[in-house]
Amino acid sequence: MDGLAAGNRVIIGGQWGDEGKGKIVDALGRGVDWVLRYQGGANAGHTIVRGGEKIVLHLVPSGLLSEGVRGYLGNGMVVDPWALRDEIIELEERGVKVRGRLFISAAAHLLMPYHRRIDECLESRRKRRSIGTTGRGIGPAYVDKATRQGLRMGDLLLPKENLERRAIEKILEANEALAALYEAEPLSAANIAQELVVLARSFAPMIVDGHEALAGVRLGRETALFEGAQGALLDLDHGTYPFVTSSSPSIGGALTGTGLPPRCLGEILGVYKAYCTRVGNGPFPSELLAEEGDALRQLGGEFGATTGRARRCGWFDLPAGRFTAEFNGMTGVIITKLDVLDTLPEIKVATGYAVDGGVLDRFPAQGDLLARCKPVYRAFPGWLQPLGACRALADLPAAARSYLEFLERELATPVVGISVGREREEMIWTPGGVSV
């Protein structure tokens, strides 16, 4: 079948990000009225491959590559207007019309150049204990939001002089903090404020009152696909703190980050790789090191879509996956990159952790405990044949089906989609799950 039945859906990364959410949103985006981003910012890198051509989106919702879809950047986001301008220019040069189809909540926060600078300074001060952020200024922008000092997209609608004055004030304040805390060079307040005024003029037609803009979704007259960024294990509250991002990539973020009520969410689909990756620092019990990790990285092309960094690679972590499926209330899971395992004679899954003399079968909330966990593996035979051309469950070799059935059973959630390549069509849809 061609995709899943029509209706609203939330797409959530079930691991540490880069699960292939962009591809899935693109595949499910056809025919929906809205694709909504609800958290994060340009730290996201969502890749879509069409006819061999690769497009990486950071702020613009992945659904915009489908005709007739409108995109929305929710109040829960931190939007870097410089990055957004560049992304729109690049997309329009490649023939994707963005203007007139992309709307931004007036309550979304502005991510300013000083946020990037502070992000860099904080990271270099943390030295060996750094988080390994994307350097996009995300944490500092959310700090300003939480301390009620931020500028918002709606401020771009202020009269030119007022906006310029407010921006200069903020930049000068940031310069003071940069000098006092990090002995960092000041940013040019006048230049940045003037650039912002120019950007404000070009973004003004896109800035909307979110409550009004999404009225059709609220009333059930329009459909929405919520595009989560990052992954549930990077959630500020529920993830592997402090090695997390500063937003809520989980189900709660879909509500607070759009202002839509729970009944608008529809299905909650978790996207998981058939193995696991993490970029940045922090515990990762099923990580493969040295040659084993390198081999998986090469097979999966695991290099960051935003920063180009080599992603840490390892086996599927069941306690972690079960945890994210449970706390997000996932109604279905989509397993991506199954084809990456095509040539491996043996595939492992971490089913629990050996720690402190015992075995733990759940994901521990305490970071220091997780850091001591050693994986307990169950091995599966590989299928040793290419899956790229499979389009139905029946096309998959028995070994691949057993692996998926095991994941479905252990995650206690139906596997509703299996991705076997980078292109939109390289998918197997299994709305009824994979176990017969």
Residues that bind ligand IMO (CB under 6 A): 13, 16-18, 43-46, 131-134, 136, 138-139, 229-231, 234, 245-246, 279-280, 305
Q: Does the active-site annotation cover 18? A: yes
Size of site (CB under 6 A) for ligand GDP: 22
Pick from 9, 37, 46, 116: which binds ligand GDP (CB under 6 A)?
46
- According to the binding rule CB under 6 A, does residue 49 interact with ligand GDP? yes
- According to the binding rule CB under 6 A, does residue 66 interact with ligand GDP? no
Burial class (CB in 10 A: 0-12, 13-18, 19+), 20: buried
What would the two tokens of residue 154 be? 């709606």
Q: Which of residues 5-24 bind Mg ion (CB under 5 A)?
A: 18
Q: Which of residues 327-386 bind ligand GDP (CB under 6 A)?
A: 336-337, 339-340
Q: What is the end-to-end Cα distance of the chain in Å, rounded? A: 18
Cβ closest to ligand IMO, residue 141 vs residue 184? 141
- According to the binding rule CB under 6 A, does residue 136 interact with ligand GDP? no
* Contact predicate 243/131, CB 8 Å: yes
Nearest to 332 by CA among 270, 274, 254, 410: 270
Beta-bridge mates of residue 267: 9
Rounded CA-CA distance 305/181 in Å is: 31
Near Mg ion by CB under 5 A, which window of 131-139, 299-307, 367-375, 385-393? Answer: 299-307
Describe the crossing of helices 189-203 and 81-93 by its angle, rounded to 10 degrees: 50
Residue 422 interacts with which of Mg ion, ligand GDP, ligand IMO, none, CB < 5 to 8 Å by class = ligand GDP
Rounded CA-CA distance 330/337 in Å is: 20
What would the two tokens of residue 64 be? 């915009």
| Residue tagged active-site, from 26, 33, 46, 115 | 46
Question: What's the closest the beta carbon of residue 228 comes to Mg ion, in angstroms?
Answer: 11
What would the two tokens of residue 381 be? 């035979």
| Residue tagged active-site, from 18, 26, 144, 339 | 18
Nearest to 24 by CA among 415, 327, 382: 415
Q: Does the active-site annotation cover 211? A: no
Describe the crossing of helices 160-182 and 189-203 by its angle, rounded to 10 degrees: 140
- According to the binding rule CB under 6 A, does residue 139 interact with ligand GDP? no
Catalytic center residues: 18, 46
Contacting residues toward Mg ion, per CB under 5 A: 18, 45, 305
Contacting residues toward ligand GDP, per CB under 6 A: 13, 17-23, 45-47, 49, 301, 305, 336-337, 339-340, 419-422
